[in-house]
Structure 1
Amino acid sequence: MNLHPITAHMPEERFWGIITATLAAAAAAGDDPDAQDKAQNASLAALLSELDWQDVLAFENRFNALHRASYTSHLWCAAYLMCGGCSDDGFDYFRYWLISRGEAVYKAAVSNPESLAAIADPENDDYEREDIAYIARDIFAEETGGAEIYGYLSPDERGYPDITFDWEEDDPATMQHLCPRLYAMFWE
């Protein structure tokens, strides 16, 4: 097998179609969030297993591009409120969760993080999905005889842009200013 880096990104319509299919599988798993996550993961693994390694890589490139595009101070503030605190890794996992929620939720939140108040549950602080980030990587390794996906990803999607924080965790008023609805739901 002649492996080489793939810079192509899966078209957004196709990417979000796959995520939508996994959400249908999650919904069919009932009301238990853990069962829903497992069903979504299994569905994603099954769908990606049907693709060739180049398409799996293009899926991962799109996933990484969306993850990178959601690296904003305002969204980090929302994550901090919803999760009861949010480290660097926690913000990564929050953005994986955000992608796993589908196109409409993702795009609304990137545009206006306050939109998450419509789907957030103040009784829940589990808005992280580290597990979903490894599925394409595992499928790629299976299809390529154990190759690590990192060496074949688009170099454009590595690292994060610089951001300037417009809120401070030690100054709740700054979080309230940016995300008043989420602040009222999770902080007060």
Structure 2
Amino acid sequence: MWGAANQIMDGLCSGDAFWYFQPWLIGQGQRWWHHATQNPDNLADLPAVRALAGRGPRDWADSEWPHWEELAYVAPRACDRITGGEDSLEEALNARGHRTYSDPEPTDRPWDSDSLAQIEQRLPRLARLFPRQHYMKP
């Protein structure tokens, strides 16, 4: 999924950007989230993604960027409100042995999301919708 987000964002998807991309994807609704999680190349079907195609990130309005940082704070704020504490969600997750929820380190088999050949193999539809504008490895 991170590679797909990186393709859409023309190689600009850092760890923070991917963290904000995830609530954006969830915010597209259960139908689209589920469709994309079946295969990251399915992001090519999302209306919000298709609206960005043909333009580079420099041409996107702030409201079009596929990230919703604010949505990432809904659950922690709700947990704090319910418990009356601060950072209560993170503490609860840590107590149960879960990794910090803001750590988007991939857990699948690594691949080079800057390799044109690998992108075309793994994400053919996104590669067509979002050809990279900056230097890429062959």
Q: Does 1:187 align with 2:131?
A: yes
Once the two structures are overlaid, the 10-residue window that deviates more, 153-162 or 141-150, is 153-162
TM-score, normalising length: structure 2: 0.69
TM-score, normalising length: structure 1: 0.52
The match for 2:45 is 118
User: Could you tell me how far apart the structure 1 residues matched to 2:86 and 2:15 are?
Assistant: 27
Which stretches in structure 2 are left out of the alignment for 5+ residues? Answer: 133-138
User: Could you tell me how far apart the structure 2 residues matched to 1:168 and 1:141 are?
Assistant: 37
- The aligned length equals 113
User: Could you tell me how far apart the structure 1 residues matched to 2:113 and 2:72 are?
Assistant: 28
Q: Does 1:152 align with 2:78?
A: no
Q: Percent identity?
A: 30
Q: Does 1:94 align with 2:57?
A: no
The match for 1:176 is 120
- Name the structure with the higher helix share: 1
Return the structure number with greater relative CO, CA threshold 8 A, min gap 6. 2
Partner residue of 2:3 out of 59, 69, 77: 77
Q: Which has the larger radius of gyration?
A: 1
Q: Letter of the 1:175 partner, please give it.
A: I
The match for 1:164 is 109
RMSD: 2.2
Contact persistence 2:6–2:113 (CA under 8 A): no
Which stretches in structure 1 are left out of the alignment for 5+ residues? Answer: 1-74
